């Protein structure tokens, strides 16, 4: 990571780096709206600490690197609200494990990145606080739910950000904004201190401007954690070496079901170009089938909503959050939740409550869980034939702000290519793959088998070198 | 989407909102029912799929648990700093019995 190398070599201090970052945030974020809050005083304390550690000879892989952190992760000293009214004023007691690992590696936290409320959305329009705009076209959405993180990186305000991905919330905004976004295997990164949305799907990962940077951040935050029993003891591998390894001979399977979806013209053309690039880099390119992938959205909206309705049952304004006037305990629960949650969160809670209710449970939740198991099995079989699977990250380039807000189902279908990897718990990365006719970014998604991060980074690094996109400032923030 | 009788009716919305402790005004029940029914109708495609041997192919990993032993965390401090009203280390709530109806 170039910033870290500069600070490690003491060519530039973490404090100088931070000052430049804050100046850029000041200049640009009024237009983009990526940050809910910028915390310069705390950030300078962290930058001073990073400089002192570098002077003391510590080897810090992220020395002085300014980060944006999605507002659903705990950073000690800052609020963490999930861009929701119901968590306004909540101060976490400690760092999330992923955040403390970044801190240990020398990172500096610039501020809280905007998001769809409780990570429920694909456009960041569900934030209760503000809109975030796509740096490539300020009239368009940045994707979601980690839209603030993606926009902050794409506009060059920060070199790295953490996002969370439940059904595509890192990979989809990364594609919309033209940056790299990586969702690790479920269990690779501790979820301690990540506010829960759907616990069997949630995973923290990096958004960066290059595959190598994503590999470094992933390596720092990965690994088992006694505070999250689902975190895996498996060795996280050597993603930075994998990213420069090359893809000669690698078996690359293009997902048949994605191509059968009737792709947008620009996306289809972009996928053809990706196929050609993999071939010219020496990969063995083939087509692979995951027959249940087209049902993934239906499965996802049962499973994720059911888990969300359970996880969000804890919000009642007793232990945190603003407390509305109420006569008794039952009305406190109802009033705080009715006033505190936005429409999309209520929709998911109602949908999940429906799927788990007596009389519907077996027909919806039970059936979806069985279909999820079959989908996972489909992937296992596919990875017997190929090393990685390739498909688009997004079905269309970023759409206009407001275009889909009245039609929740159409909005849900924005995640059609990202949800399958989430349900199967697989690692998957978005790599920028070019632009649409209108100059909007497109992203290629590369999926690996469970704990196959090294394969994913090898393919992603090879593709990135092959396509060699110019590193230009997005036109909305020039 | 094929036409079918509505699964999510205004009455179903009223019942699940009560379970979820959310207030949905009577005037909005129809809108919520229509929206949710459209989503449920999409989800119903899962009913069209054959389910043979699905249960035996359980590829979803079981949830690992940590040992159920007490551990001191930062909960007390978090409660003291974040609860709207707290006393003696507990969150204070309105009276449970005999409150206003």
For A233-283, write each residue's pLDDT tens digit: 999 999 999 999 999 999 999 999 998 777 899 999 999 999 999 999 999
Give pTM, 2 decimals.
0.96
More confident residue, B80 or A428: A428
| pLDDT attached to residue B60 | 56
Total Cβ atoms within 10 A of residue A13: 19
CA distance A4 to A65: 6
Same domain, A59 and A99: yes
What is the block-wise mean pLDDT of chain A (478 residues), using blocks of 10 residues? 96 98 98 98 97 98 98 95 97 96 98 98 98 98 98 98 98 98 98 97 98 98 94 94 96 94 91 97 97 96 98 94 88 95 98 96 95 95 98 97 94 95 98 97 98 98 96 94
CA distance A356 to A308: 11
| pLDDT attached to residue B59 | 52
H helix or E strand, kind and range, residue A156: none
Of all residues in chain B, the percent with pLDDT exceeding 90 is: 43
The DSSP secondary-structure symbol of A150 reads: H
Residue B88 lies in a domain: no
Same domain, A116 and A152: yes
Q: Count interface pairs A-B at CB distance under 8 A.
A: 157
Same domain, A173 and A312: no
Residue A255 lies in a domain: no
Residues A90 and A321: beta-carbon distance below 8 Å: yes
Structural domain of B26:
7-48
Q: CATH no. for residue A473?
A: 3.90.1300.10
- The reply to whether residue A354 touches residue B49, judged by beta carbons under 8 angstroms, is no
Q: Give how many domains chain B has, as a whole number.
A: 1
Say which of B32, B43, B58 has its CB closest to residue A298: B43
Residue A279 lies in a domain: no
If DSSP states are collapsed to H, E and C, what string results for chain B? CCCCCCCCCHHHHHHHHHHCCCCCCHHHHHHHHHHHHHHHHHHHHHHHCCCCCCHHHCCCCCCCCCCCCCCCCCHHHHHHHHCCCEECCEECCCCCCCCCC
Residues of B in contact with A318 (CB under 8 A): 83-84, 91, 93
Instruction: Please determine, for residue B58, whether its predicted confidence score (pLDDT) is greater than 80.
Output: no
Of all residues in chain B, the percent with pLDDT exceeding 70 is: 82
Return the percent helix, strand and coil in chain A, to nearest 5. Answer: 45, 15, 40
If DSSP states are collapsed to H, E and C, what string results for A250-286? CEEEEEHHHHCCCCCHHHHHHHHHHHHHHHHCCCEEE
Mutate to test the interface with B, among A328, A330, A352 (most CBs of B within 10 A): A328
Question: Where do the H-state alpha helices sit in A75-185?
Answer: 97-104, 147-154, 171-177
Average pLDDT for residues B21-50, to the nearest whole number? 95
How many degrees, rounded to 5, is the angle at CA A25 between CA A443 and CA A102? 70
Average pLDDT for residues B58-79, to the nearest whole number? 74
- The reply to whether residue B13 touches residue A350, judged by beta carbons under 8 angstroms, is yes
Instruction: Please determine, for residue B62, whether its predicted confidence score (pLDDT) is greater than 90.
Output: no
CA distance A418 to A147: 15
Same domain, A405 and A352: no
Same domain, A152 and A64: yes
pLDDT category at B98 given cuts 50, 70, 90 is: low
Residues of A classed as catalytic: 70, 145, 169
Tokens matching residue B13: 């919305």
Same domain, A366 and A416: no
Structural domain of A115:
2-247+393-477
Same domain, A367 and A442: no
Say which of A200, A329, A371 has its CB closest to residue B93: A329
Instruction: Please determine, for residue B1, whether its predicted confidence score (pLDDT) is greater than 90.
Output: no
Residue B41 lies in a domain: yes
Residue B82 lies in a domain: no
Q: CATH no. for residue B44?
A: 1.10.20
Q: Which of A51-65, A73-87, B44-58, B83-97 has the lowest mean pLDDT?
A: B44-58
| pLDDT attached to residue B66 | 77
Residue A260 lies in a domain: no
CB-based contacts of A399, cutoff 8 Å, min separation 6? A123, A140, A141, A414
Choosing from A337, A371, A405, the residue where a domain stops is: A371
Same domain, A202 and A303: no
Question: Which chain B residue's Cα is nearest to A230?
Answer: B64
The end-to-end CA distance of chain B, in Å, is 44
CB-based contacts of B45, cutoff 8 Å, min separation 6? A295, A298
Give the pLDDT confidence of A411-444 residue by residue, as tens digits.
999 999 999 999 999 999 999 999 999 999 999 9
Residue A308 lies in a domain: yes
Q: Give how many domains chain A has, as a whole number.
A: 2
Instruction: Please determine, for residue B53, whether its predicted confidence score (pLDDT) is greater than 70.
Output: no
Same domain, A53 and A152: yes
Measured between alpha carbons, how far is residue A430 from residues A141, A397, A424 in Å? 17, 14, 17
Residue A265 lies in a domain: no
Mutate to test the interface with B, among A291, A301, A313, A318 (most CBs of B within 10 A): A318
Q: Chain B closest CA to A76's CA: distance in Å?
A: 11
Say which of A93, A319, A409 has its CB closest to residue B42: A409
Q: Strand, coil or helix: what is A14? A: helix
- The reply to whether residue A326 touches residue B35, judged by beta carbons under 8 angstroms, is no
Residue B94 lies in a domain: no
Residue A153 lies in a domain: yes
In the block, residue with structure tokens 């503000």:
A130
Same domain, A235 and A311: no
Residue B75 lies in a domain: no
Instruction: Please determine, for residue B67, whether its predicted confidence score (pLDDT) is greater than 90.
Output: no
Residue A388 lies in a domain: no
Instruction: Please determine, for residue B48, whether its predicted confidence score (pLDDT) is greater than 60.
Output: yes
| pLDDT attached to residue B76 | 80
Residue A230 lies in a domain: yes
Closest among A393, A353, A259, A97 to B40, alpha carbons compared: A353
Measured between alpha carbons, how far is residue A80 from residues A76, A331, A407, A465 in Å? 9, 26, 29, 37
Same domain, A113 and A197: yes
Residues of A in contact with B47 (CB under 8 A): 363, 367
pLDDT category at B33 given cuts 50, 70, 90 is: very high
């Amino acid at each position: 990571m170039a910033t870290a190398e500069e600070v490690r070599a003491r060519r530039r201090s973490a404090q100088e780096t931070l000052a430049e970052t804050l100046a850029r945030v000041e200049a640009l974020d009024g237009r983009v709206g990526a940050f809910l809050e910028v915390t310069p005083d705390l950030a300078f304390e962290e930058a001073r600490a990073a400089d002192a550690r570098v002077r003391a000879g510590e080897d810090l892989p992220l020395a002085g690197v300014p980060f944006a952190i999605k507002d659903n992760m705990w950073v000690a000293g800052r609020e963490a609200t999930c861009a929701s009214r119901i968590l306004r004023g909540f101060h976490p007691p400690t760092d999330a494990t992923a955040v403390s690992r970044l801190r240990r590696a020398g990172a500096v936290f610039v501020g809280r990145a905007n998001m769809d409320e409780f990570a429920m959305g694909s456009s960041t329009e569900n934030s209760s606080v503000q809109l975030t705009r796509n740096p490539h076209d300020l009239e368009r959405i940045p994707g979601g739910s980690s839209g603030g993180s993606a926009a902050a990186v794409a506009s060059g305000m920060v070199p790295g950000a953490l996002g969370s991905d439940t059904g595509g919330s890192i990979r989809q905004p990364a594609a919309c904004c033209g940056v790299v976004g990586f969702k690790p295997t479920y269990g690779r990164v501790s979820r301690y201190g990540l506010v829960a949305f759907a616990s069997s799907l949630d995973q923290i990962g990096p958004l960066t401007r290059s595959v190598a940077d994503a590999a470094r951040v992933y390596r720092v935050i990965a690994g088992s954690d006694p505070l999250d029993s689902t975190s895996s003891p498996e060795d996280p591998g050597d993603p930075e070496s994998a990213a420069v390894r090359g893809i000669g001979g690698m078996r690359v399977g293009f997902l048949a079901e994605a191509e059968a979806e009737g792709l947008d013209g620009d996306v289809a053309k972009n996928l053809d170009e990706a196929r050609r690039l993999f071939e010219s880099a020496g990969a063995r390119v083939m087509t692979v089938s995951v027959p249940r992938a087209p049902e993934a959205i239906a499965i996802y909206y049962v499973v994720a909503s059911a888990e969300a309705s359970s996880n969000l049952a804890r919000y009642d304004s007793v232990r945190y959050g603003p407390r509305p006037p109420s006569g008794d305990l039952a009305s406190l629960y109802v009033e705080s939740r009715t006033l505190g949650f936005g429409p999309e969160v209520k929709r998911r809670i109602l949908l999940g409550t429906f799927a788990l209710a007596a009389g519907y449970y077996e027909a919806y939740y039970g059936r979806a869980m069985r279909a999820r198991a079959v989908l996972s099995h489909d992937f296992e079989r596919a990875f017997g034939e190929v090393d990685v699977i390739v498909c688009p990250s997004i079905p269309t380039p970023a759409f206009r702000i407001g275009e889909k807000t009245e039609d929740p189902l159409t909005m849900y279908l924005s995640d059609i290519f990202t949800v399958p990897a989430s349900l199967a718990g697989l690692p998957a990365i978005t790599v920028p793959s070019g632009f649409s006719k209108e100059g909007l970014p497109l992203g290629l998604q590369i999926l690996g088998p469970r704990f196959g991060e090294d394969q994913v980074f090898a393919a992603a690094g090879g593709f990135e070198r092959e396509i060699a996109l110019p590193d230009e400032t997005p036109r909305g923030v020039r | 989407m094929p036409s079918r009788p509505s699964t999510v009716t205004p009455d179903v919305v009223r019942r699940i909102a009560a379970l979820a402790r959310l207030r949905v005004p009577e005037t909005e029940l129809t809108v919520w029912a229509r929206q949710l029914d459209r989503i449920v109708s999409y989800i119903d495609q899962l009913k069209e799929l054959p389910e043979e041997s699905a249960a035996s192919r359980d590829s979803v990993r079981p949830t690992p648990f940590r040992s159920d032993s007490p551990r001191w965390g930062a909960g007390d401090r978090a409660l003291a700093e974040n609860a709207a009203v707290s006393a003696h280390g507990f969150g204070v709530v309105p009276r449970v019995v005999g409150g206003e109806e």
